[in-house]
Amino acid sequence: MTFPIHRPRRLRRNEALRGFVRETRLSASGMVYPMFACPGTNVRKEVSSMPGIYQQSVDQIVEECREVAGLGIPAVILFGLPEHKDELGSEAADAHGAVQRAIEAIRKAKLNLLVIADVCLCEYTSHGHCGVMKDGDVLNDPTLVLLADAALSHARAGADLVAPSDMMDGRVAAIRQRLDENNFEDVAILSYAAKYCSSFYGPFREAAQSSPQSGDRRSYQMDPANAREALREVALDLEEGADIIMVKPALPYLDVVQRVRERFDVPLGAYNVSGEYSMVKAAARNGWIDEKRVVLEILTAIQRAGADIILTYHAKDAARWLKNC
Ligand code: PBG
């Protein structure tokens, strides 16, 4: 017999009961705040498609990191804009690049904050692709050397983790080997293992000035139609030495997050990407949705699907809201 013996509404009667039986408890302790470091000093330029997110010089980055740490957010991930772009994205591995200097400055400020460096070439190459180009193709193996160079420069600057987001085959192994050869065996790798070729990265490409000048990223990022392939990508990255794996984007791929969670017993991240953020911001500005409730619902859903770690541009707002509710 079910009703009237069983009444699920009994446990929904008030907030005390609802809180008592809540399955997912969202907290800032699993959040990562993405930031964009640019050359210069005193630069703080808002990204037009991402209200509240800025391209910032190192001095400004450190100030915002202070705020981030104060809110109880444990980590930031840094993306960089170079002074000059070239065919090989040379500045990605420049010891004096904006990201490398930002890592050093955050370290020096002794904040209670983990620093993750995104490892990719697309912000640094003149053609905007994530690897070395030849005759319209992105070459896999020659790119691995450059990615390892970049990761090593981040480790030297003091990064706690490096996060390859390029989707070249074998990059986790190449980076692990290079870090170990240089005595950085304690620097962890957060791999964008299942990164889809998604249209939700549009606003990021404005922020990081990283749009491909020709073609698209379909020959290296994953086809949105595939979920089983994501499990294979994750397995390969783990074999190569990834410590934490990530699915990206988050919301349109919660099924992938859940499948990866069920199959692999490693820390799992999900990236709530720029387009997901911009849609919420735009709708909220129009008064069409309640931003706070929508953001907390989205982040709860990503955690409920199985993500331990959420990279999100909403992190500061969410941390504030969670403190007060
Ligand atoms: C670099 C990179 C991208 C993102 C993170 N790292 C863009 C891309 O692959 O085109 C997207 C993040 C976001 O949209 O918030 N390869």
- Looking at residue 3, its pLDDT comes to 95
CATH number at residue 152: 3.20.20.70
- Ligand 1 contact, 201 CB (< 6 A): yes
Asked if the structure places residue 3 within a domain, the reply is no
Q: How many whole angstroms from its chain centre is CA 18? A: 31
Asked if the structure places residue 288 within a domain, the reply is yes
What is the residue with the minimal CA distance to atom 7 of ligand 1?
201
**Considering 85, 110, 195, 281, which one is annotated as catalytic?**
195
Asked if the structure places residue 34 within a domain, the reply is yes
Q: How many whole angstroms from its chain centre is CA 323? A: 23
Asked if the structure places residue 32 within a domain, the reply is yes
- Looking at residue 63, its pLDDT comes to 98
Supply the angle between the helices 140-157 and 171-181 in degrees, to the nearest 10: 40
pTM above 0.85, yes or no: yes
Per-residue pLDDT of the chain in tens (325 residues, 90 and over written 9): 799 999 999 999 999 999 999 999 999 999 999 999 999 999 999 999 999 999 999 999 999 999 999 999 999 999 999 999 999 999 999 999 999 999 999 999 999 999 999 999 999 999 999 999 999 999 999 999 999 999 999 999 999 999 999 999 999 999 999 999 999 999 999 999 999 999 999 999 999 899 999 899 999 999 999 999 999 999 999 999 999 999 999 999 999 999 999 999 999 999 999 999 999 999 999 999 999 999 999 999 999 999 999 999 999 999 999 998 6
How many structural domains comprise the chain?
1
Domain that includes residue 153, residue range: 25-323
Asked if the structure places residue 150 within a domain, the reply is yes
For residue 293, give every residue at least 6 positions away whose Cβ sits within 8 Å of its Cβ, in sequence order, or none: none
Residue with tokens 């995104």: 118
- Catalytic-residue membership of 85: no
Asked if the structure places residue 134 within a domain, the reply is yes
